[in-house]
Amino acid sequence: MTPTFTRFTLAYISRRFLSTTACRLSKKVAVVGAGPSGFYTSLNLLKDNDPSLQIDMFERNPCPFGLVRYGVAPDHPEVKNCQERFQDTRKDERFKYYGNVTVGIDLKLKELYDNYDIVVYAYGSNKENKLGIPGEDDHPGIINSKAFVGWYNGSPEYKDLDPPLDKVKSVVIIGNGNVAIDIARVLLAPIESHWKMTDISRHAIEQLRKSKVEKVTIVARKGFLESKFTNKEFKELFELYKEGVYFGGWPKQKFVTLQDLKLGRVDKRRLSLVNKYKGLLEKENAGGKTPRRVWYLDYLKSPIGFKVNRADPELLEEVIFRDNSIKIERIPNTRSYRSIITPTEGFSSINCQLVIPSIGYKCKPLPEFKKLGIPFDEKKGVIPNVDGKVIGRNDSYCVGWVANGSRGNINSTVMTSGLLAEIIQEQLNAKNNNIDKPGRKVTEELLGKRNVNVVNWDDWTTIEAFEKMKGKESGKPMEKVTDFKEMLNICK
């Protein structure tokens, strides 16, 4: 018998024993959400070979992986590689995946607390931030980034979005984080050389083929130094010149002093990227070529309204801004600068048919939080916590975007979930779990009588194999199933 076999056999026998004794002796952890933060926390907890540990992960979608599946851009397959790591949980019998189970609806939060030692909130963000401008929710010429990203990533929620790209020449993206850059790439990069071989949704490819988009302007309220994108993503956009997409320019006159500042490494690099690529379009033009697709940066503009296109009410005519002024000053005793942004009396507009606000996501509390005394900071959109431990609770933890706000990349969840797992382990080991809890139910028992089609790991494997098989037919890594009902049909 190999040591691994012995370990797993013992773990199996002890689990069988535990399940026949109403979960006596088991340390039960419920993880709400199957995004990167939920998976990394689970993987870190499983590192400790404690056979009495049992992790049940609940995910509202049939499919796991959260924003790795429905957020990360299709041309970033290297980022999505973490999914392979998450699948390692499959090998551990102490871990169970319950897909298609919405906590708060299919399974009440109170039931989790009654039946688990610890609840870990890893449910990410569930809403997009709003501009607060009348009409932004009900005009087809204004599509928020969450919807647009979900649409090209094959999220069933947005599969019927149908953005009118066949009629749009100019798009304004409001906000300048990495999501805005992703969206600009999707709108501008050519299908054949860039998107065809990715896992972008089939309906997006079809619509992008008909696209008339020639110009994309990324607009921000603040200044260049406050740009939210990372230099890596910024460079990626410039590099699209190799595929015929050029940087058209930026309002340099607004930032004349930048060259004279002693900028830090990141800002210096950012400025050097603009300087490096800014002449390429002129060169093309001088050579008699007129690139069809060009992107621009704009700053110091706060959107205040939209003008609808009279000829085609499905489209916009322009977006109207209040202009802001900027004063850059050094923060005393540091090498950093701060920009003081002030609204002016000036207004401006950009001609466009489509606006995509991309100003971040927001986390919301789960329905039973108030009743159960789970705190939530509505303003920050987070569960108040110290190193992931929910303030005022001994049995609750949070991780990822719902713990830190909807910012930060997957790597940051790797670090925080490692630390969190240690804290949870300490608590589980300190807690006296050797008391019989006769009322405690196993999850199948809880869900059994309800009309919930639970998707387990084997079911997900079937769906995933189907997606890969479909992808192979069209030379893509996968063709995502864009209907949750169809997913359930495939695996049942």
Ligand X SMILES: Cc1cc2nc3c(=O)[nH]c(=O)nc-3n(C[C@H](O)[C@H](O)[C@H](O)COP(=O)(O)OP(=O)(O)OC[C@H]3O[C@@H](n4cnc5c(N)ncnc54)[C@H](O)[C@@H]3O)c2cc1C
Tokens describing residue 255: 């930032």
Q: Which of 229, 296, 235, 224 is nearest to 257 (CA)?
A: 224
- What is the residue type of 40? Y
CB of 405 to ligand X, least distance (A): 10
Judged by CB under 6 A, the residue of 67, 143, 184, 187 near ligand X is 67
Minimum CB distance to ligand X smaller for 42 or for 52? 42
How far from the centroid of its chain's Cα atoms is residue 409's Cα? 8
58 is an interface residue for ligand X by CB under 6 A: yes
In the bound state with ligand X, the residue whose beta carbon lies nearer, of 319 and 403, is 403
- Residues marked as binding? 37, 59, 67, 103, 176-179, 233, 401, 408-410
**Which residue has tokens 């590099």?**
239
Contact region for ligand X (CB under 6 A) — 19-27, 101-109, 430-438, 439-447?
A: 101-109
Q: Which residue is nearest to ligand X (CB)?
A: 35
What is the footprint of ligand X within residues 257-316 (CB under 6 A)?
A: none
Q: Which residues are annotated as a binding site for NADP(+)?
A: 176-179, 233, 408
Closest approach, Cβ 172 to ligand X, in A, equals 18
* Nearest distance, CB of residue 259 and ligand X, angstroms: 31
Complex with ligand X: residue 54 or 125, whichever CB lies closer: 125
Among residue numbers 165 through 184, which ones bind ligand X (CB under 6 A)? Answer: 179, 182
- For position 103 contacting ligand X by CB under 6 A, the verdict is yes
Q: Chain-centre distance of CA 419, in angstroms?
A: 22
Nearest of 2, 3, 27 to residue 14 by alpha carbon: 27
Does 109 help bind ligand X (rule: CB under 6 A)?
no
Supply the DSSP string of 165-196, one letter for each residue: GGG-SEEEEE--SHHHHHHHHHHHS-IIIIIT
Residue nearer to ligand X on the CB measure, 306 or 484: 484
Selected from 27, 28, 29, 33, the binder of ligand X by CB under 6 A is 33
The answer to whether 37 contacts ligand X (rule: CB under 6 A) is yes
Alpha-helical segments (H) within 312-409: 369-372, 401-404
User: For strand 337-351 and strand 316-330, is the pairing parallel, antiparallel, or unpaired?
Assistant: antiparallel
Q: Which stretch binds ligand X (CB under 6 A): 56-64, 258-266, 312-320, 481-489?
A: 56-64
The neighbouring-strand residues paired with 55 are 29, 95
CA distance 13 to 21: 13
Binding ligand X (rule: CB under 6 A), the pick from 23, 34, 133, 245 is: 34
- 126 vs 324, beta carbon nearer ligand X: 126
CB of 327 to ligand X, least distance (A): 32
Instruction: Could you list the residues known to form a binding site for FAD, using ranges.
Output: 37, 59, 67, 103, 401, 408-410
Based on CB atoms, which residue is closest to ligand X, 128 or 323? Answer: 128
Cβ-based nearer residue to ligand X, 35 or 223: 35
Write the CB contacts of 97 (distance below 8 Å, at least 6 apart in sequence): 34, 57, 59, 64, 89, 455, 456, 457, 460
Judged by CB under 6 A, does residue 71 bind ligand X? yes
- Residues of this chain, 145-164, that bind ligand X according to CB under 6 A: 149
CA atoms within 13 A on the CB side of 355: 30
CA–CA distance, 169 with 203 (Å, rounded to integer): 20
Contact indicator for 71, 124 with CB cutoff of 8 Å: no
| Residue 196 to residues 126, 153, 202, 216, Cα–Cα distance (Å) | 29, 13, 9, 21
Nearest to residue 359, comparing CAs of 133, 167, 33, 140?
A: 133
Asked if 186 contacts 205 with a C-beta cutoff of 8 angstroms, the reply is no
Q: Build a one-symbol-per-residue string for 182-221: x at contacts with ligand X by CB under 6 A, - elsewhere.
A: x---------------------------------------
Report how far residue 294's alpha carbon sits from residue 187's, in angstroms, rounded to the nearest whole number.
11
- Residues within window 362-401 making contact with ligand X, judged by CB under 6 A: 366, 400-401
Which of 176, 413, 443, 482 is close enough to bind ligand X by CB under 6 A?
413
Q: Shortest Cβ distance from residue 461 to ligand X (Å)?
A: 18
Binding residues for ligand X, rule: CB under 6 A, are 32-38, 58-61, 66-68, 71-72, 76, 79, 102-104, 122-126, 149, 179, 182, 361, 366, 400-401, 408-411, 413
